[in-house]
Amino acid sequence: MSFNSLGGVRLHGWLAVPTDGGVERGLVVGHGYSGRKQPDPGLPLPRAAAIFPVARGLGVPSALPGIPSSPDRHVLHGIESRDTYVHGGCAADVWCAATALLELVPQTGERLDYVGNSFGGGIGALALPWDARFHSAHLSLPSFGNHPLRVTLPRVGSGAAVRDRYMTNPEILEVLAYFDAATAARHLRIPVQVAPALFDPTVPPPGQFAVFNALAGPKELHPVTVGHFHEHPSAEREHEELLRARTRFLT
């Protein structure tokens, strides 16, 4: 399916509905910074309809002229101004995906939740405080929290690109202040479950915990040992435990 978003762009994704047509709630499911080539396997809840949108520029389904698709370049797109930074558009993509879901499956308005991991966790924290249609959320390994600290910490991935740009242009912190997931979380009052990692080479754990600590409403902490590091012997077991905890929380 496809839908319009901020700036007149046309984005794409997938819609999943129960085979028997019985829908009692809705989910907007974000993705990581590698984008999405297909919907996630399975849903965290029964009798739910879910939209799996692809954020602007991140993958063929939502490729746009002028927006790089690689995470290390995408994260810098428009960073010179709060009016042009791509993460503002990505937050709006969450709102517009919710609108598309509610239009296609009106029953989802009874209970609308958000699920996001990594990039999707951080963008979710940025988007959710300003959209009263959502009832609760689950954020795993949320990125973009506490930018003033993030730019001082060594790491790999898209965050390293921002850190390198900061070293030559520290003024970008003035822009990033408007796109800090921990700052936005101070205005998020719906129930939120956060799964931050104690060790993560890509998304600094202090930034992940900053998102949880800043939440203004009911919140639940489900820490994991590692994030973005699948070689750890406990990674698979903890992932299965996290999925069960997510289902319990959203239920």
Q: What residues contact 100, with CB distance under 8 A and at least 6 apart?
A: 1, 3, 51, 53
What does pTM read for this prediction? 0.95
How many domains does the chain divide into?
1
Range of the domain at 97: 2-250
Q: Kindly report, residue by residue over 49-80, the tens digit of the pLDDT.
A: 999 999 999 988 899 999 999 999 999 999 99
Task: Please classify residue 98 by burial: count the beta carbons closer than 10 Å to its beta carbon, then call 0-12 exposed, 13-18 middle and 19+ buried.
Answer: buried
CATH code: domain of residue 109: 3.40.50.1820
In the numeric block, the tokens 């598309």 are attached to 100
Q: Kindly report, residue by residue over 183-222, the tens digit of the pLDDT.
A: 999 999 999 999 999 999 999 999 999 999 999 999 999 9
**What number is the average pLDDT over the span 6-34?**
94
